């Protein structure tokens, strides 16, 4: 337990590089389709043995209450999400569209237009059979960002 807490404190969260184009497929320095073993190793974790036939998730905690989740299937990353347990935290990670946790919902629509679909407080951007971005809106601002694909690597 103490080792896990120390790793969460000292392990740097991968961050996107402004010079690397990810074509709307990356979040927090991780790209849909990346090798799950490499990503999990970089995060200080390991895939669950025998997890190649179903979508599995791995969660990491960082400063400011940041929670990073990666989802993988058959050895490839199929989803990445970020959220924070501290509503007023200043999380600097942005998606490729310039959206970050705490962005106002009105700013999201100004930057990305109307969502493709909505389900409760989740606004989705993207087509059904491709990469899509889900933004959870609470109290007028973004509380969770998820990029995922129904396509498997």
pLDDT at 92: 84
Q: pLDDT tens, 18-37?
A: 334 567 889 998 999 999 88
In sequence order, the β-bridge partners of residue 125 are: 133
Which range, 35-39, 62-66, 142-146, has the best average confidence (pLDDT)?
A: 142-146
Q: pLDDT tens, 72-85?
A: 888 889 999 999 88
User: How confident is the prediction for the chain on average, in pLDDT?
Assistant: 79
With beta carbons less than 8 A apart as the criterion, state whether 73 and 56 touch.
yes
Extract the runs of DSSP E, i.e. beta strands, from 37-111.
Answer: 56-61, 66-73, 76-84
For the chain, give the percent of residues with pLDDT over 90.
Answer: 41
Residues 124 and 108: their CA atoms lie apart, in Å, by 11
pLDDT for 47 beyond 50 = yes
Give the global pTM.
0.80
């Amino acid at each position: 337990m103490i080792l896990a807490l120390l790793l969460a404190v000292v392990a740097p969260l991968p961050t996107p590089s402004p010079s690397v184009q990810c074509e709307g497929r990356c979040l927090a320095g991780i790209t849909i389709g990346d090798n799950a073993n490499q990503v999990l190793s970089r995060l200080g974790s390991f895939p669950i043995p025998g997890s190649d036939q179903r979508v599995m998730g791995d969660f990491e905690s960082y400063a400011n209450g940041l929670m990073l989740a990666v989802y993988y299937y058959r050895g490839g990353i199929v989803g990445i999400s970020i959220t924070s347990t501290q509503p007023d935290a200043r999380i600097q990670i942005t998606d490729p569209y310039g959206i970050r946790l705490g962005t106002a919902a009105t700013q999201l629509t100004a930057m990305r237009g109307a969502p493709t679909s909505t389900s409760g407080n989740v606004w989705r951007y993207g087509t059904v059979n491709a990469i899509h971005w889900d933004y959870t809106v609470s109290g007028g601002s973004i509380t969770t960002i998820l990029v995922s694909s129904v396509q498997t690597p």
